[in-house]
């Protein structure tokens, strides 16, 4: 999943970076066939084009060292982005937080800008 800086018009099957700019955020669902590429070449490509935050979610919990492995871009290179003391990964770019939901293959998303700037539960994205 890529979060772009602005909405796309129509229903394009692909987008040009020169047109839309680098995405603000990228997230991948880990799978046995893609996990090495997600953490290797794809991560390097995302850093090279300037995506500020990159997250990989392991819904089954058996492919990665943690249920969420994430990085933030600093000086053109990704550095580990760890969960906060509360167990949530707080996105500074999107103003939302992510957390695995127990043993279920679900990623909980908490928004920080709901009604009148109050925090609250957001959405859950499952596989």
**What's the CA dihedral at 81, 87, 91, 97 to 10 degrees?**
150
pTM of the model: 0.79
Identify the pLDDT of residue 72. Answer: 97
- Spatial strand order in the sheet of 77-80: 2-3, 25-29, 53-57, 68-74, 77-80
Identify the pLDDT of residue 119. Answer: 38
Domain segments of the chain: what residues? 2-6+15-126
- Note the pLDDT tens digit of each residue in 63-105: 998 889 999 999 999 999 999 998 889 999 988 888 887 665 4
Rounded Cα–Cα distance for residues 113 and 67 (Å): 25
User: Coil, strand or helix: which one is 99?
Assistant: strand
């Amino acid at each position: 999943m890529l979060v772009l800086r602005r909405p796309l018009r129509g229903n394009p099957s692909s987008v040009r970076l020169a047109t839309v700019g680098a995405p603000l955020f990228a997230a991948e669902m880990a799978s046995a066939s893609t996990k090495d590429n997600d953490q290797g070449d794809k991560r390097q490509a995302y850093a090279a084009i300037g995506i500020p935050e990159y997250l990989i979610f392991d819904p089954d919990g058996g492919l990665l060292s943690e249920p969420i492995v994430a990085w933030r871009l600093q000086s053109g290179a990704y550095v580990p982005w760890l969960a906060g003391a509360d167990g949530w990964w707080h996105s500074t770019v999107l103003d939302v937080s992510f957390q695995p939901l127990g043993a279920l293959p679900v990623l909980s998303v908490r928004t920080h800008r709901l009604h009148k700037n109050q925090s609250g539960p957001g959405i859950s994205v499952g596989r």
